[in-house]
Homo-oligomer: A and B are copies of this chain.
Amino acid sequence: MQTTNTTEQQIIDAAKKIFMQKGLAGARMQDIADEAGINKAMLHYYYRSKDKLFEMVFTEALEQLLKRINAIFTGDMPFKEKVAAAVDHYITSLSASPHLPIFIINELNQNPERIVERFVHAAEFPDIKKFMQEMLTEMEKGAIRKMSPLQLMMNTLSLCVFPFIAKPIISNVFGMNDEQYKALMEERKKSVTEFILMSLRP
């Protein structure tokens, strides 16, 4: 990924970092300017207001998250492999940017209307429903036990995403440092896949 080093790009990179770290309310325009190594007025020159700049960052982040969610579901793998691939993909992906989900969820929670506009032209999530259809097919075939596909979908996401969201609590409760936590997440790829598939035994 070649991030062209124009001022414009430097700004959104800096904004992304600061907003993800401190949230909309907590982020200061000066922080972003400092992070980008430029004057505060430049922020307003390129993106008119704090809100406009935030909107830009947030939209991109949300799209990124949604893309990740159903990146795997499109493939043509057999069902069980697809589960394994999805789990692996999520955990790998979230290891690289662990703040993404908390950022999205938190801002979305403080301003739920923000999602509305975004989802009108969303070409991002139909694949999920396709995957849920595959679940039903497998159940009919008797390859896996019957259960609500929606619940199964939520379970899969929960098992992958939650440990990253709750890292500060979990790592403290069990007294782990960052390295140990990362190892735990790595081990988790196999563990979660197995957990799901074992549960789905007919």
Q: How far is the CA of A174 from the CA of B152 in the complex (A)?
A: 14
Contact present for A165 and B110 (CB under 8 Å): no
Contact present for A155 and B192 (CB under 8 Å): yes
What chain B residues lie within 8 Å of A128 (beta carbons)?
173
Q: How far is the CA of A105 from the CA of B161 in the complex (A)?
A: 13
What chain B residues lie within 8 Å of A192 (beta carbons)?
151, 155
What chain B residues lie within 8 Å of A201 (beta carbons)?
198, 201
> Does A148 count as interface, using CB distance less than 8 angstroms?
yes
What chain B residues lie within 8 Å of A102 (beta carbons)?
105-106, 109
> Does A57 count as interface, using CB distance less than 8 angstroms?
no
Contact present for B25 and A168 (CB under 8 Å): no
**Contact among B145, B170, B194 with A147 in the assembled complex (CB-CB below 8 Å):** B194
Contact present for A163 and B158 (CB under 8 Å): yes
Q: How far is the CA of A104 from the CA of B89 in the complex (A)?
A: 27
> Does A68 count as interface, using CB distance less than 8 angstroms?
no
> Does A191 count as interface, using CB distance less than 8 angstroms?
yes
| A interface residues (Cβ-Cβ under 8 A, vs B) | 21-26, 99, 101-102, 104-106, 108-110, 112, 115, 119, 125, 128, 145, 147-148, 150-152, 154-155, 157-159, 161-163, 165-166, 168-170, 172-174, 184, 187-188, 191-192, 194-196, 198-201
Q: How far is the CA of A194 from the CA of B198 in the complex (A)?
A: 12
**Contact among B162, B173, B198 with A165 in the assembled complex (CB-CB below 8 Å):** B162
A56 to chain B, nearest CB (A): 20
What chain B residues lie within 8 Å of A145 (beta carbons)?
198
A192 to chain B, nearest CB (A): 7
The 3 closest A-B CB pairs, nearest first, are A199-B199, A25-B26, A158-B162
Sample of 10 A–B contacts (CB below 8 Å): A21-B110, A25-B25, A106-B106, A115-B169, A115-B172, A147-B195, A151-B191, A154-B170, A198-B198, A198-B200
Q: Which of A110, A173, A187, A201 has the most CB of B within 10 A?
A: A173
